[in-house]
Amino acid sequence: MTTTHTALLGDRTVRRVGFGAMQLAGPNAWGPPRDPDAARAVLRRALDLGVNHVDTAQIYGPDVVNDLIAEALRPYPDELVIATKVGGRRDDGGGWIGAARPERLRADVEANLRGLRVERLGLVNLRLMPDGERVPLAEQLGALTALRDEGKLALIGLSTVSADDVRAALEITPIAAVQNAFSVVNRADQPVLDLCRAQGIAYVPYFPLGSAYVGGPQVLAADPAIASVAAKHGVSAAQVALAWLLARYDRMLLIPGTSSIAHLEDNLAAGHVALDDQDLATLDGAKQLGNPMG
């Protein structure tokens, strides 16, 4: 099966394997990295290898990752799309809590603009926190559409949402992307992926190698179905898992994260792994583990 290497994100063409920057902060995306120079080197190498879609958030650090991106990549190439997210914040101990009121969303967009040192964000994903403030979706999207009309962001996406959430959002504004948990070992979000396909919306899976809470890449390597396909192609189980996602939908965009240049290069090489129908049938037998973070 031939894999296309680019796809539309809204009206922008991006490489289908991008880069998720969360791991460039300290543990649990809290505080600075142990080696900031190495983190900046990973970012520069990603762009050297053709990445033009970078996913970040002001709450990573907080501020740490956005500062690293600005330090490493400015002046930004015209083709680079930087995506961020709002809807959550960190408490004093680094915990993740909801922050969905319109004034908070506006403040968080402004914080991302300042940290990244840009006048306009490429994509802002609205993350619906399961235990967050009960603010109507229309009010949250209203805040983002107002910011879009002011020229402070180009595209609006959604994260951690149901199919009903996506349908409701589409009644209010165009949606460029949906970012939910999905992988070869966690296919619970298939109904949302099917809706995105029907609507021509880009789908950006987080935990693309399975959640660390259920074993992550180590579990992939131990799964007989995944291991057999990896051995057939002479690649890693992680590369097979990423290639499986790319084969699932032609507007599937990946943002695997790492703080290692070697892992970055391995992840990007997954875009060149061509799975055939037999491989896909074999991978249908991979054990489903789900995602405890929901």
- pLDDT for 180 equals 97
- pLDDT for 160 equals 96
Instruction: Return the minimum-mean-pLDDT range out of 45-59, 117-131, 169-183, 203-217.
Output: 203-217
Range of the domain at 199: 6-214+251-258
Decide if pLDDT at 125 tops 70. yes
How far is 44 from 164, CA to CA, in rounded Å? 39
290 lies in some domain: no
3-state secondary structure 192-210: HHHHHHHHCCEECCECCCC
Among the listed residues 77, 79, 64, the one whose alpha carbon sits nearest the alpha carbon of residue 12: 79
Q: Are 117 and 137 in contact (CB under 8 A)?
A: no
How far is 258 from 160, CA to CA, in rounded Å? 21
- pLDDT for 213 equals 63
Taking residues 280-290, what's their average pLDDT?
Answer: 92
- pLDDT for 132 equals 67
What does the mean pLDDT of the chain come to? 94
Taking residues 41-68, what's their average pLDDT?
Answer: 98
268 lies in some domain: no
Burial of residue 116, with CB atoms counted within 10 A of its CB: 0-12 exposed, 13-18 middle, 19 or more buried:
buried
- pLDDT for 15 equals 98
Taking residues 83-106, what's their average pLDDT?
Answer: 94
Decide if pLDDT at 292 tops 70. no
Per the annotation, the verdict on 206 as an active-site residue is no
Q: What is the DSSP letter of 209?
A: T
294 lies in some domain: no
228 lies in some domain: no
Instruction: Return the minimum-mean-pLDDT range out of 75-89, 118-132, 192-206, 255-269.
Output: 118-132
Q: What is the DSSP letter of 74?
A: P
81 lies in some domain: yes
- pLDDT for 290 equals 66
- pLDDT for 214 equals 67
Taking residues 145-165, what's their average pLDDT?
Answer: 98
The CATH number of whichever domain residue 129 belongs to comes to: 3.20.20.100
164 lies in some domain: yes
Provide the percentage of residues in the chain whose pLDDT is more than 70.
Answer: 96
The values of phi and psi at residue 259, to 5°, are -110, 10
Taking residues 240-255, what's their average pLDDT?
Answer: 97
Taking residues 193-199, what's their average pLDDT?
Answer: 98
278 lies in some domain: no
- pLDDT for 211 equals 74
Q: Are 128 and 161 in contact (CB under 8 A)?
A: yes
124 lies in some domain: yes
- Number of domains within the chain: 1
Q: How confident is the model at residue 294 (pLDDT cuts 50, 70, 90)?
A: very low
